[in-house]
Chains A and B, each alone.
Chain A
Amino acid sequence: MTEEIIIAGFGGQGVLSMGKILAYSGIMQNQEVSWMPSYGPEMRGGTANVTVILSDDRISSPYLKIFDTAIILNQQSMDKFEESVKPGGVLIYDPNGISHHPTRTDINIYQIEGTKLAAEMGNKKIFNMVILGGFLKVKPIVQLENVIEGLKKSLSERYHHLIPLNTEAISTGMNKITPFKVEKQVFS
């Protein structure tokens, strides 16, 4: 099994740390992992993205052009990465702030109201865990207990009291993700 994922959004949304938790979860179940961020000036207030690969075999390129799954968290990333999903692949996005919804019909698209759900739960910072939960519902590539182990590894100990809240956010995401159907354009 190999899963090639791009997570893309604004800097500060927790894009990179979500990728890191996913990668750690892979390590917990003895997989090979790679985490390749876009780094540099574009990170400050601009877009941030990370390529995460989990595989049972040695990973060749950590840098890719097309992906099994794209997790898209802002409009710029939608414009850039909708085309990068393999046919038959998965696109997950948060409709918050999205003006141009995806239009491809050869991929499976899901919506998750991450921003809204995190606000309802009273902590905007768990946004990325809601999204991660949604992803794991669609692609159960890592066991939940391994994600929790991954959280323990990637958070420093003084934040370990937040793990139950993060776990709750993951289950919320799992319950609230919904398929999105691209409406056929009607020409008149």
Chain B
Amino acid sequence: MSELKLMKGNEALAEAAIRAGVDAYFGYPITPQSEVIEYLMTERPEERTGMVVLQAESEIAAINMVYGAASTGKKVMTSSSSPGISLKLEGISYLAGAELPAVIVNVVRGGPGLGTIQPSQADYFQSVKGGGHGDYKLYVLAPASVQEMSDFIEDAFDIAFKYRAPVLILSDGLIGQMMEKVQLKDQKERISNEELIKRHDSWAVTGKTNRERNIITSLDLQSEKMEARVHRLMKKYEQMEKEDLRFEKINCDDAEYLIVAYGSSARIAQKAVELAREKGIKAGLLRPITLFPYPKQELFKLADQVKGILSVELNAGQMVEDVKLSVEHKVPVEHFGRTGGIIHTPEEILEALEQKIINHERIRYSKTRESSIL
């Protein structure tokens, strides 16, 4: 039986990394993510599993260490918070271009710029719309609990190696800093070098044996070859959409009004749904667990059932664009969210649902009736 512990989200993620048999972590401290590297340093994973933990001289150095180590087929990761992720974006684009498996964790804080150290979800665009340059996407997992901070490490590496692509875990200061009960998985052994060669010799730089040399690069000056590479990436993303989309529906079966929220906002919105139900409002919650791929078809279907949709995010309105694209104007879609590190309360979300969607819907309805009388 695995262990039950009370842990911060950041600590649970760090412990999960050791237990998942990760080979190396390269990072640089930044609030509200610093517990990840702090925990890894105190736990001395080099003694537990042989995992390398290294504090780089900067975020840029850390992501390039990830690039180098990932080239060898090892399980490697880094973590940071918003301004640090901005610094890493060049490296992330290179990882995507060179088709390397790696896990990047963003414990988001408020921005732009140095912003604030308080929780935020203002890095949605950066995470799902590229962020770095070029035609690439990241597979993005959005944990909403400390348990998921722990579980998603293994899931993220599975996806990263399945597609040979970088995977982003998009958390935030709230999930990173809060403590909850977490069921830790049993320790997995790190993959031996022999096993690694068996699995990844077709592409990784494992030391040339009796084969053609493997070259890891994102550069292709021959346009036809580069286009083929881009097509190969697009195929992977299509396959992700088909096979690895994840979402959760709460109280959606009879819902007349829908809230869409991910991560910490999903938790708070779930309470808003409970409060709405107590008032007799049939509200439901769709929680995208992956932000790319996005549950487009599910939203398209739900739009036939509900009268309006509220996108709740700790930002000035980012995911709401994807909600709108998904429902194709079938029903009104509005955004609600606090910024600057302020966290919306369940009561505020319910109020926004009533004012922006429910009352608004009544106004529209009465207007049409009025005009039909005239």
B180 proximity list for chain A (CB < 8 A): 32-35, 59, 62
CB neighbors of B among A5-34 (8 A): 20, 23-24, 27, 32-34
CB neighbors of B among A31-86 (8 A): 32-37, 39-41, 59-66
Q: Across the interface, do A20 and B179 meet the contact criterion of CB distance under 8 Å?
A: yes
Q: Across the interface, do B268 and A34 meet the contact criterion of CB distance under 8 Å?
A: no
Of A27, A40, A66, the most chain B CB neighbours within 10 A belong to A40
Q: Across the interface, do A27 and B4 meet the contact criterion of CB distance under 8 Å?
A: yes
- Kindly identify which residue among A36, A63, A64, A153 contacts B6, using a CB–CB cutoff of 8 Å: A153
A108 contacts the other chain (Cβ, under 8 Å)? no
Q: Across the interface, do A40 and B117 meet the contact criterion of CB distance under 8 Å?
A: yes
B173 proximity list for chain A (CB < 8 A): 39
Of B6, B270, B274, B345, the most chain A CB neighbours within 10 A belong to B6
Given contacts A34-B179, A35-B178, contact A40 B118 (CB under 8 A): yes
How far in angstroms is the closest Cβ of chain B from A64?
7
B78 contacts the other chain (Cβ, under 8 Å)? no
A33 proximity list for chain B (CB < 8 A): 6, 179-181
Given contacts A20-B6, A39-B32, contact A64 B346 (CB under 8 A): yes
How far in angstroms is the closest Cβ of chain A from B348?
8
A32 proximity list for chain B (CB < 8 A): 180-181
Report the separation of the CA atoms of residues A37 and B271 in the bound assembly, to the nearest whole angstrom.
18
Report the separation of the CA atoms of residues A66 and B348 in the bound assembly, to the nearest whole angstrom.
12
Number of interface residues of B (CB under 8 A): 28
Q: Across the interface, do B270 and A36 meet the contact criterion of CB distance under 8 Å?
A: no
Given contacts A23-B6, A27-B4, A35-B6, contact A65 B346 (CB under 8 A): yes
Of A34, A59, A60, the most chain B CB neighbours within 10 A belong to A60
Q: Across the interface, do A35 and B179 meet the contact criterion of CB distance under 8 Å?
A: yes
A interface SS class: mixed
B177 contacts the other chain (Cβ, under 8 Å)? yes
- Kindly identify which residue among B116, B174, B264, B345 contacts A65, using a CB–CB cutoff of 8 Å: B345
A171 contacts the other chain (Cβ, under 8 Å)? no
B343 contacts the other chain (Cβ, under 8 Å)? yes
Report the separation of the CA atoms of residues A39 and B341 in the bound assembly, to the nearest whole angstrom.
11
Given contacts A34-B178, A37-B178, contact A65 B347 (CB under 8 A): yes
B347 proximity list for chain A (CB < 8 A): 65-66
Interface size class of A (residues with CB under 8 A): 20 to 34
Report the separation of the CA atoms of residues A153 and B346 in the bound assembly, to the nearest whole angstrom.
32
CB neighbors of A among B165-202 (8 A): 173-174, 177-181
Report the separation of the CA atoms of residues A107 and B181 in the bound assembly, to the nearest whole angstrom.
31
Q: Across the interface, do A61 and B268 meet the contact criterion of CB distance under 8 Å?
A: yes
CB neighbors of A among B250-282 (8 A): 264, 267-268, 270-274
A23 proximity list for chain B (CB < 8 A): 6, 179
Report the separation of the CA atoms of residues A41 and B117 in the bound assembly, to the nearest whole angstrom.
9
B341 proximity list for chain A (CB < 8 A): 40
B348 proximity list for chain A (CB < 8 A): 65
B116 proximity list for chain A (CB < 8 A): 40
A154 contacts the other chain (Cβ, under 8 Å)? yes
A65 proximity list for chain B (CB < 8 A): 345-348
Given contacts A23-B6, A154-B6, contact A62 B267 (CB under 8 A): yes
Of B173, B179, B341, the most chain A CB neighbours within 10 A belong to B179
Q: Across the interface, do B271 and A36 meet the contact criterion of CB distance under 8 Å?
A: no
Given contacts A33-B180, A34-B178, contact A60 B270 (CB under 8 A): yes
Report the separation of the CA atoms of residues A181 and B48 in the bound assembly, to the nearest whole angstrom.
57
Report the separation of the CA atoms of residues A33 and B348 in the bound assembly, to the nearest whole angstrom.
23
Q: Across the interface, do A63 and B343 meet the contact criterion of CB distance under 8 Å?
A: yes
Residue of chain A at shortest CB distance from B274: A60
A60 proximity list for chain B (CB < 8 A): 267-268, 270-271, 273-274, 346
Residue of chain A at shortest CB distance from B116: A40
Given contacts A61-B271, A63-B343, contact A39 B177 (CB under 8 A): yes
* Given A27-B181, A65-B348, A154-B6, 6 additional A-B pairs, CB 8 A: A35-B6, A36-B174, A39-B173, A60-B268, A60-B271, A61-B346
Q: Which 3 A-B pairs have the closest CB atoms?
A: A61-B271, A60-B270, A35-B179
- Give the interface of A toward B (CB within 8 A): 20, 23-24, 27, 32-37, 39-41, 59-66, 153-154
